[in-house]
Amino acid sequence: QVQLVESGGGLVKPGGSLRLSCAVSGFTFSDYFMSWIRQAPGKGLEWVSHISSAASTIYYADSVKGRFTISRDNAKNSLYLQMNSLRAEDTAVYFCARVYYAFDVWGQGTMVTVSS
């Protein structure tokens, strides 16, 4: 079945870095655009970044531009989010999602906490 599994979250100090991963199975990963979306505790959903199937087109939310980098490895069926210069306001559950018009399949999320 179609499955997305995020990993790599954890507790990090302000200014620190983390790399999130999203392992995909059950569909042809290289055929699909992918996104990262986050949700701060008790808050709504915020789109973070998008990458096209061949990684030729990438977009970022202004709130993360210059600090986060999205990438993918189609041979490994994996999506990544490198997060640098982390701030307290980056604390959230981070979801990876498949893009088919909208976000049609979501992972279960990985928690990132930025705190000293």
- For tokens 């096209």, the residue is 52
In angstroms, what is the minimal distance from the CB of 114 to another protein? 21
Q: Residue 53 phi/psi, 5° resolution?
A: -60, -35
**Alpha-carbon distance 93 to 17, whole Å?**
16
**Burial state string for 28-52 with b = 16 or more CB within 10 A and e = fewer than 16:** ebeebbbbbbbeeeeeeeeebbbbe
Site for another protein contains 55 (CB under 8 A): no
Q: Which of 32, 68, 80, 95 binds another protein (CB under 8 A)?
A: 95
In angstroms, what is the minimal distance from the CB of 63 to another protein? 9
Query: Are 51 and 58 within 8 A, CB to CB?
Result: yes
Site for another protein contains 33 (CB under 8 A): no
Q: Which of 7, 19, 30, 45 binds another protein (CB under 8 A)?
A: 45
Site for another protein contains 9 (CB under 8 A): no
Site for another protein contains 27 (CB under 8 A): no
Contacts 24+ apart (CB under 8 A), 61-64: 63/89, 64/90
Site for another protein contains 56 (CB under 8 A): no
Output 42 or 75, the one with its CB closest to another protein. 42
Output 101 or 116, the one with its CB closest to another protein. 101
